[in-house]
């Protein structure tokens, strides 16, 4: 097993200015690799205060086998508490609204936390909640699905629609691989750039006056 020790391990990266609408980026099962900067910095340039927590306590992976090891170590309750603290701290520091953007396991955590009602928008890439993870999502939701080996979204999407959730769904199966591993490389392909543009527009509509 070869794990990667990430820069600024165990800390939360920050872009933009506190008091602006808050966006928290949640990494995928590979961990907080450096290319999340390519997602966070452009969002900050659009007027958001962007936070990128480290859910793996300083470690990341570059292949699926090692990522699976890190994922098995993740304590969802601890991760959710960390994310919720960041949301509440952002609001205490003046953020008028708060949203989450998550990839695979990060998207799953984002969708779970959204059920609490403390968020104003959530965008999830290659992530769903299963039928046992019951709960209404009271904020607008944007879902992206792409690549191979992703989750089957149909049951979850039907549930959201039945609940009356404000929902946007995008499928891009021309992507070379799943958005769930998007944080392992820069947003350089047409599919990735389009997905980013859609999410940025979604966040602007629901988080910025």
Note the pTM of the prediction, 2 decimals.
0.93
Judged on CB neighbours under 10 Å (0-12, 13-18, 19+), 92 is: exposed
Nearest Cα residue to 41 out of 63, 66, 24, 16: 16
| Strand, helix or coil for residue 166 | coil
Q: What is the pLDDT at residue 73?
A: 94
Q: What is the pLDDT at residue 163?
A: 95
Q: What is the pLDDT at residue 184?
A: 45
Q: What is the pLDDT at residue 4?
A: 80
Q: Is there a contact between 118 and 98 (Cβ–Cβ < 8 Å)?
A: yes
Nearest Cα residue to 53 out of 97, 16, 118, 102: 102
129-181 residue pLDDT tens: 998 887 899 999 999 987 666 678 899 999 999 999 999 999 876 655 556 55
Q: What is the pLDDT at residue 174?
A: 62
Q: Is there a contact between 70 and 97 (Cβ–Cβ < 8 Å)?
A: no
Extract the residue ranges of the chain whose pLDDT is less than 50.
184
Q: What is the pLDDT at residue 5?
A: 85
Q: What is the pLDDT at residue 204?
A: 98
Q: What is the pLDDT at residue 64?
A: 83
Instruction: Decide yes or no: CATH 3.40.50.2000 for domain 4-207.
Output: no
Q: How far apart are CA 50 and CA 48, in angstroms?
A: 6
Q: What is the pLDDT at residue 62?
A: 84
Q: How far apart are CA 6 and CA 20, in angstroms?
A: 27
């Amino acid at each position: 097993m070869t794990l990667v020790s990430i820069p600024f391990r165990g800390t939360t990266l920050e872009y933009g200015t506190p008091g602006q609408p808050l966006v928290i980026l949640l990494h995928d099962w590979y961990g907080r690799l450096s290319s999340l900067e390519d997602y966070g910095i452009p969002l900050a340039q659009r007027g958001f205060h962007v936070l990128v927590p480290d859910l793996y306590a300083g470690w990341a992976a570059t292949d699926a086998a090692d990522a699976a090891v890190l994922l098995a170590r993740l304590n969802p309750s601890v991760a959710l508490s960390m994310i919720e603290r960041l949301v509440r701290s952002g609001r205490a520091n003046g953020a008028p609204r708060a949203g989450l953007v998550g990839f695979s396991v990060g998207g799953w955590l984002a969708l779970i936390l959204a059920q609490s009602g403390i968020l104003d928008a959530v965008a999830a890439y290659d992530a769903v909640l299963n039928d046992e993870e019951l709960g209404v999502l009271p904020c607008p939701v944007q879902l992206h699905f792409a690549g191979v080996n992703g989750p089957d979204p149909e049951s979850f999407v039907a549930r959201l629609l039945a609940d009356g959730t404000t929902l946007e769904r995008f499928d891009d199966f021309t992507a070379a691989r799943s958005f769930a591993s998007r944080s392992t490389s820069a947003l350089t392909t047409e599919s990735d750039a389009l997905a980013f543009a859609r999410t940025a527009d979604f966040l602007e509509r629901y988080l910025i006056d």
